[in-house]
């Protein structure tokens, strides 16, 4: 079932592997078939090795995320929709109901209500391309978050060390300038222009932060450390009977296949209650189409099971309401965490 021939002991030995295309592609296919195609009931998932199972699921989920991010860069709406199709179940399985509901709503609008042109235009609002180069697109909301980051106060904690920071954020509100009127009247409108200005000043005085790569942690060192750890722990070697128990989980399940889990949750009423809630208006909580619900009641002979399984569906689980993230967050905020 899980075919692992152990001849290469360490990843270090892969150095000597100098494949041509056929060999390379064959290995890639094997990896994808064996380790990632675990949607639905896959035989190897029932194997009694939790550790291996978990790693497979992680690889699948992380690759899905990678595919989505790549589709964004290349403005590939088709692939984005492909990932949404799977995320519709996966978000639900992981308990992210707000965005799970949003995906349902998006499918409803795009596939059942909008005309072709409206669909195309709406999709076009998703992404922007600052540089006009294929492969460099970012989501529209990320563009705004980046602007917000530039508007925000970024005062260096240590003035001697962060001389460039002062230059780079000279337009940012600081001290008594961090007021509503400053942001409204000065900081936010011309943010693009101020950004360019501060860059030009930095370039002129030759203080651009060109060496940032050096201060970043080396990716290779990280990967080498992890590779050794994976080998030591025999994560990807099938070991029968390895179980992972988790104490603080209510469900008692340590390893969750969020796709299958999400499908079950939707089948057990979450989908129906979403449909009942949104019936006509797509308002997600309030818009309950009474006419539709009556018809449903007649059809099924019972009252709708509003919100029975859809834990925290519309009423918003408090933490997700405030989900707000800024790529260039306030340094003082980081101190807290």
CA distance 171 to 27: 52
Among 1, 43, 78, 298, binds other proteins (CB under 8 A): 78
CA distance 120 to 14: 46
Which residues pair with residue 242 across a beta bridge?
A: none
Nearest distance, CB of residue 52 and other proteins, angstroms = 8
Nearest distance, CB of residue 256 and other proteins, angstroms = 6
- Position 331 contacts other proteins (CB under 8 A): no
Closest CB to other proteins among 221 and 302?
221
Burial 136-162 (b: 16+ CB within 10 A, else e): ebbeeeeeebbebbbbbbbbbeeeeeb
Stretch that binds other proteins, among 162-170, 202-210, 260-268, 302-310 (CB under 8 A): 260-268
Footprint of other proteins on 121-160 (CB under 8 A) = 121-135, 137-145, 147-148, 151-153
CB 263 within 8 A of CB 94: no
Return phi, psi of residue 19, to 5°: -80, 155
Return phi, psi of residue 128, to 5°: -130, 160
Closest CB to other proteins among 43 and 117?
117
Return phi, psi of residue 150, to 5°: -75, -30
Closest CB to other proteins among 11 and 202?
11
Nearest distance, CB of residue 305 and other proteins, angstroms = 14
Footprint of other proteins on 9-68 (CB under 8 A) = 9-11, 13-32, 34-37, 39, 50-52, 54-55, 57-59, 61-68
CA distance 149 to 119: 31
Element (H, E) at 210: none
- Position 252 contacts other proteins (CB under 8 A): no
Secondary structure letter of residue 15 according to DSSP:
G
The gap from C-alpha 335 to its chain's centroid, in whole angstroms, comes to 24
Nearest distance, CB of residue 188 and other proteins, angstroms = 4
Among 287, 294, 303, 308, binds other proteins (CB under 8 A): 287
- Position 245 contacts other proteins (CB under 8 A): yes
Nearest distance, CB of residue 206 and other proteins, angstroms = 26
Footprint of other proteins on 162-181 (CB under 8 A) = 173, 175-176, 178-180
- Position 190 contacts other proteins (CB under 8 A): yes
Among 42, 76, 164, 264, binds other proteins (CB under 8 A): 76
- Position 239 contacts other proteins (CB under 8 A): no
DSSP string of 194-208?
A: HHHHHHHHHHHTT--
Q: Is 285 helix (H, G, I), strand (E, B) or coil?
A: coil
């Amino acid at each position: 079932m899980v075919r692992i021939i152990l001849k290469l002991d360490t990843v270090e030995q892969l150095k000597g592997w100098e494949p041509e295309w056929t060999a390379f592609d064959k290995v890639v296919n094997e990896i994808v078939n064996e380790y990632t195609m675990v949607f639905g009931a896959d035989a190897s998932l029932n194997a009694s090795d939790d550790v291996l199972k978990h790693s497979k699921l992680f690889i699948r989920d992380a690759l899905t995320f990678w595919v989505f991010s790549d589709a964004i860069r290349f403005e590939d709406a088709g692939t984005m929709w492909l990932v949404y199709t799977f995320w519709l179940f996966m978000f639900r399985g992981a308990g992210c109901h707000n965005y799970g509901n949003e995906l349902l709503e998006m499918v409803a609008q795009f596939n059942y209500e909008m005309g072709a042109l409206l669909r195309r235009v709406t999709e076009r609002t998703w992404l922007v391309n600052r540089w006009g180069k294929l492969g460099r697109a970012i989501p529209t909301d990320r563009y705004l978050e980046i602007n917000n980051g530039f508007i925000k106060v970024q005062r260096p904690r240590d003035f001697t060390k962060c001389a460039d920071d002062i230059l780079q954020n000279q337009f940012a509100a600081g001290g008594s300038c961090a007021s509503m009127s400053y942001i409204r009247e000065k900081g936010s409108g011309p943010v693009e222009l101020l950004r360019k200005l501060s860059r030009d000043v930095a370039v002129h005085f030759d203080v651009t932060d060109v060496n940032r790569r050096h201060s970043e942690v080396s990716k290779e060192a990280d990967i080498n450390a992890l590779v050794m750890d994976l080998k030591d722990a025999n994560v990807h070697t099938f070991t029968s009977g390895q179980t992972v128990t988790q104490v603080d989980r209510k469900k008692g399940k340590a390893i969750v296949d969020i796709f299958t889990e999400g499908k079950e949750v939707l089948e057990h009423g979450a989908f129906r209650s979403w449909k009942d809630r949104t019936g006509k208006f797509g308002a997600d909580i309030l818009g309950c189409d009474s006419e539709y619900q009556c018809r449903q009641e007649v059809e099924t002979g019972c009252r709708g099971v509003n919100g029975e399984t859809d834990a925290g569906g519309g009423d918003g689980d408090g933490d997700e309401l405030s989900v707000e993230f800024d790529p260039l967050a306030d340094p003082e905020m980081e101190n807290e965490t």
